[in-house]
Structure 1
Amino acid sequence: MTRALVPWDVRLPRLFESFRREIDELFDQFFGPWEDTREHWPAFSPRANVAETDTHYEVTVDLPGMKPEEFTVELKDNQLWITGERKREHEEKGKTYHRIERVYGEFRRV
């Protein structure tokens, strides 16, 4: 059996973004505008695990390839804030990507 690779349409995430904005506007019409609009939300949100022991909490965040100086961990008003930016890797010349699933951009986890 042979399978062909179908080129990934890079416009597809933009279509979902447009749909999400329309849904947000609909909710704003019914419930009023939300003070922290989703337009300011980061596109990239790393996955995190939070565990508790008898003595402490442990937070593990997936930030592969990022160096500690590329993100910050702060305690603000009794909340743990993890912020940073995952920058796009340099594309190598001579390569044609058929699928790019990695997400880049600023992120904030609270």
Structure 2
Amino acid sequence: MTPFRRRFDSLFDDFFGDLLSDPRADWVQGWNPKVDIFEEDDQFVVKAELPGVEKDKIAIDVDGRVLTVKGERSGEKEVKEKNYYRRECTYGTFQRSFTLPEETDSEKNKAEYKDGVLKLNIPKPETSKAKKITVQ
């Protein structure tokens, strides 16, 4: 059975591999910005690379534990398709959703957009302090 699977995988890779690895094939996969998400002592931090996206074209939504970042990067309208020598930049809409480890207070979230990088600071919820109970 293993040789059959290897042959089948090879056939699949030969057929689809070039299409999906071709940088011009973004129309198949869509445009998704690169994102880093990490945790600090008192907050979650999300950094998204959004070069060429205008600030007013970015929408951020937090619903429970789900964070959604969406927007649009507009392309050059003045250059005719036949005048391109190479076209690798992708344009259009994007949407990324992430599940946060904990629900947060969305009123305290902060967003900053500078030099094509969106930075979100999402404070962790205040946990109730442990109470000591004295045994009498």
| Identity over aligned pairs, percent | 30
CA distance in 2, matches of 1:68, 1:57: 22
For the residue of structure 2 that corresponds to 1:90, the secondary structure is coil
TM-score by length of 1: 0.56
Size of the aligned set, in residue pairs, is 73
TM-score by length of 2: 0.46
Match of 1:13 among 10, 20, 25: 25
Q: What letter matches 1:13 in structure 2?
A: A
CA distance in 2, matches of 1:91, 1:101: 17
Q: How does 1:29-108 map to 2 (within 5 A)?
A: 43-92=30-79, 96-108=83-95
Q: What letter matches 1:69 in structure 2?
A: D
1:35 equivalent in structure 2: none
Higher normalized contact order (CA 8 Å, seq sep 6+, divided by chain length): 1
CA distance in 2, matches of 1:55, 1:77: 18
CA distance in 1, matches of 2:47, 2:78: 29
Cα RMSD of the aligned pairs, angstroms, is: 2.5
Flag the structure with larger Rg.
Answer: 2
Q: What letter matches 2:40 in structure 1?
A: T
Structure 2 unaligned blocks of 5 or more: 1-23, 98-136
Q: CA deviation at 1:71?
A: 1.1
For the residue of structure 1 that corresponds to 2:53, the secondary structure is coil
Q: CA deviation at 1:67?
A: 2.0
